[in-house]
Structure 1
Amino acid sequence: MSFTEEFTQALRNQRVLMKHRPDRLRIRLLIYFIWFVFFGLFFATIHGLQNGRLGSGFWWAKELPGHLLVSACVTVCFFFVFRGFERFAPQRWLDAIVRWRDWRAGFFYSMLSIFCSAVGVVIGLAAVDRVWLTQGWNKALSQPGFWGEFLGISAVISVIVGLRYRARWKQEALQARITEAQLRLLQGQIEPHFLFNTLANVQSLIDFDPDRAKLMLERFTDYLRASLGQLRGDSTTLAQEFALLEAYLGLMQLRMGERLRVSLSLPAELAGFELPPLLLQPLVENAIHHGLEPKIGGGEITVSARREGQQLCIDVGDDGQGLDAPKRRGGNGLALDNIRARLTARWGPAAMLELLPREGGGTRSHIKIPLPLLKP
């Protein structure tokens, strides 16, 4: 990753509350340094224009360094307050704030920013008074006009921040719709191949094993009923997703016979949890195609959901060839990227998909989704 890409990603991460920052410390310090210099120069210039001393010797010697010192105190206050909140607040609070898409987010960030600015200004003026011995900070803080100007500037900044967040939410919503459309397109490309293969298998079984052909048609009907219902909506439930997987894996068991063993586990309290449709089937398809089908003896597919604290954890595991085995075809990365994009679009960076080696051999696809509304 280039420096520009790393810096841009760090800027995006600054808008999200997270306990463990993935960005390098030097990049984060550079961002805070840019803020400190920008706001110091901005307010020093405004103040110089108001009193007519912009560019004078007094402005360079006293006003510019003073504003930079106040800006540094405000920046440090922002760093410690926001970072302290991230580190010590419960994870469910952070997840809930990240998911806010209404006035609550603007109110929270505005109030916390005004608090940081007020504390930073008070500390900064005290520091200026101590360095230059002006002894005017008490006088400045006691003037209603000073705080009126401060609140006015804070209100303008809050409105700008609110409009920025609203524009970002609209962009995220648009990106989510684009991602869903891409998934539908991808699913539309995959489904005909799967349908034709299944019908060809039924046709080949009719002559020498009609009972098995009938069973395959029944399971194929169950699969179509489950999948078509999901494709019509923007959300499904875990119970419906597991029903689709059961129908799909039933078809695969008829094709692979005893080479495919299946284990599904869904606690009743998680059955109604809503998630994007067809989120898990691509993971199961990859597990079968890349992990189990190449093995002579086949193997087992396990799909389980559980709650860990304030997170929903979903695992799709197989005891197949593992991550280091050569892939049989391309396209695996596209499906995984699509799932990650859909998770991020709905739940933000707190949701994730990882491919991990399975204990005992094979591969484990691990999904984490925040559950801020569930109480421990």
Structure 2
Amino acid sequence: MWKKMTSWYAHWDEELLGVLANPKAIEQIDSPWRRCLARRLGSLSPIERAQLREFSVSFRGAKLWWAIAKLCLLFSMFGLFLQLFRPKLDWWVLVLVANLIGWALSFSLIGIWFNYRQIAKHRLRVLLSGALGVCVGLLGGAMVGALIKGKNIVQSIEQDAPNVIKVALILGVIYALLIGMVAGWRNKNYETINAQLELEAEREKNARQASESQLRLLRAQIEPHFLFNTLGAVQQLAEQGAPQAAQLTANLIVFLRASMSEMRSDQISLAEEFQLVRAYLEVMQVRMGSRLEFHLDLPRDLGDIKLPSMVLLTLAENAIKHGIEPSLRGGSIQISASKIEDTVVVLVQDSGIGLSDKPSTGIGLQNVRDRLRLLYGARAELAISEVETGGVLAELRMPIIPQGV
């Protein structure tokens, strides 16, 4: 029986935590009354759900029972301390009363702590309910006290009425101040967090728009520049009657066909990006001749991994523009992809002239970094370093995101 109850409670606990993390989980709950409670949790704001979930995760299992035991011990010690002022009362009565009052205050504080927004909306109703609760509690306490002392309940209440009213007023004021202070502070904290989240969302939106604008500008720079230069090379080869003109035109068509959709998508697969880069390098190889060599290595099992479009194309174009073309002897480009645990690593290495002493004013690499940061945060990075034997190594690291996430 006990094992069945603990199993049921654990399942219910996981169910509620799932709802706090994702309100869509409500539809998977079969029990009507549990679904009703879950809907109330799901109606909370994202901030409230996150706060309640954090509290629930922090105090569950053994931690919950340990916290309950410590509070019971604290309340009991306070009850024993009160016997110094009320020696005529039995110690167990004071311990019982101290625990009842202590747990009542604890549940009140928890209620105020997580219902601060509702309290702010219905202050008068909450205060009246609190005052009524205090009066009922004191009345019930007076009745229990009369039974313990063996006195007539009505006479005991009549005799203690003035004291009960005084205590009710004092506790009512304390309760009202407690509600006002805690709820007010929590609401202020909520507004601060909400304002910060809105500001961060606005910043991310602006950063994304700026990154998209830079990407459009980068596309506008790459496409016409690359196209005009290649057509110029085709014209020059055709005038010379060179057979490479036909090959260059064929490679250009392959590149334009591959880039038609990929260059206008936010994300593409590694296989598609490698295909685009290969078409680009084949065009450049016809233009540059023996001054350019390249090698691409993409394991078959990494082909479906998604990455921001034009990232590798930007790195390849940057390697040729700043590394290979300025070199009289040309050079080679090696592009490879590998998997390390849940991270994909792409290396773009050239044997060109190396890093320039002058700072680059281009937007390509910065755009790559900005897009990686917006998509993956600190989990992705682009590192540029100089190779000892000559040239530059661009190391791109990105987390592998499961499809559908």
Task: Kindly provide the amino acid, as one letter, of the partner of residue 112 in structure 1.
Answer: E
Paired residue for 2:103, among 137, 143, 146?
143
Shift of 1:307: 0.7
Q: State the superposition RMSD in angstroms.
A: 3.9
Q: 1:337 aligns with which of 366, 369, 376?
A: 366
Which amino acid is the alignment partner of residue 147 of structure 1? F
How far apart are 1:111 and its partner, in Å? 2.1
Q: Secondary structure at the match of 1:353?
A: strand
What are the residue-to-residue correspondences of 1:53-202 with 2, within 5 Å?
Answer: 110-113=52-55, 115=57, 139=99, 142-154=102-114, 156=116, 165=197, 168-169=200-201, 171-173=203-205, 175-202=207-234
Aligned with residue 291 of structure 1, among 315, 320, 323? 323
Separation (CA, whole Å) in 1 of partners of 2:23 and 2:306: 20
Quote the offset at 1:258 in angstroms: 1.1
Q: CA deviation at 1:181?
A: 2.6
Aligned AA (1:150): I
Taking only the aligned residue pairs, the percentage that are identical comes to 31
Instruction: Measure how far apart 1:362 and its partner are.
Output: 1.8
Runs of 5+ unmatched residues, structure 2: 1-20, 26-45, 83-97, 117-185
Displacement, 1:147? Answer: 2.9
Query: How far off is 1:159 after superposition?
Result: 7.0
Instruction: Please tell me whether residue 369 in structure 1 is matched to residue 398 in structure 2.
Output: yes
- The structural deviation recorded for 1:238 is 0.9
Question: Which of 307, 318, 338 is the equivalent residue of 1:306?
Answer: 338
Between Structure 1 and Structure 2, how many residues are aligned? 268
Larger Rg: 2
Q: Do residues 317 (structure 1) and 346 (structure 2) align?
A: no
For 1:343, the aligned partner's letter is: L
For each residue in 1:70-98, what CA deviation from the matched residue of structure 2 results, as whole angstroms up to 9, or x when unmatched? xxxxxxxxxxxxxxxxxxxxxxxxxxxxx
**Distance verdict in 2 for CA 1:313–1:202, change over 3 Å:** same
TM-score of the pair, normalised by structure 2: 0.56
Q: Distance in 2 between matches of 1:185 and 1:173?
A: 18
CA contact (8 A) 1:141 1:147 kept: no
For structure 1, the residue ranges without an aligned partner over 5 or more in a row are 1-99
Distance in 2 (alpha carbons) for counterparts of 1:209 and 1:358: 40
- Map Cα deviations across residues 168-202 of structure 1 (whole Å, 9 max, x no partner): 45653553243123211222133222211111111
Going from structure 1 to structure 2, the CA distance change for 1:101 and 1:344 (only over 3 Å counts) comes to: farther
1:204 corresponds to: 236
* 2:298 equivalent to 1:356: no
Structure 1 residues 178 and 321 mapped into 2: Cα distance closer, same or farther (>3 Å)? same
Q: Provide the C-alpha distance between the structure 1 equivalents of 2:222 and 2:99, rounded to a whole number of angstroms.
A: 73
CA spacing shift, 1:162–1:314, aligned 2, 3 Å: farther
| 3-state DSSP of counterpart to 1:280 | helix
Looking at structure 2, the residues matched to 278 and 372 of structure 1 have their Cα atoms a distance apart, in angstroms, of: 18
Q: Mapping of 1:249-260 within 5 angstroms?
A: 249-260=281-292
Do the aligned partners of 2:305 and 2:400 also contact (CA within 8 Å) in 1? no
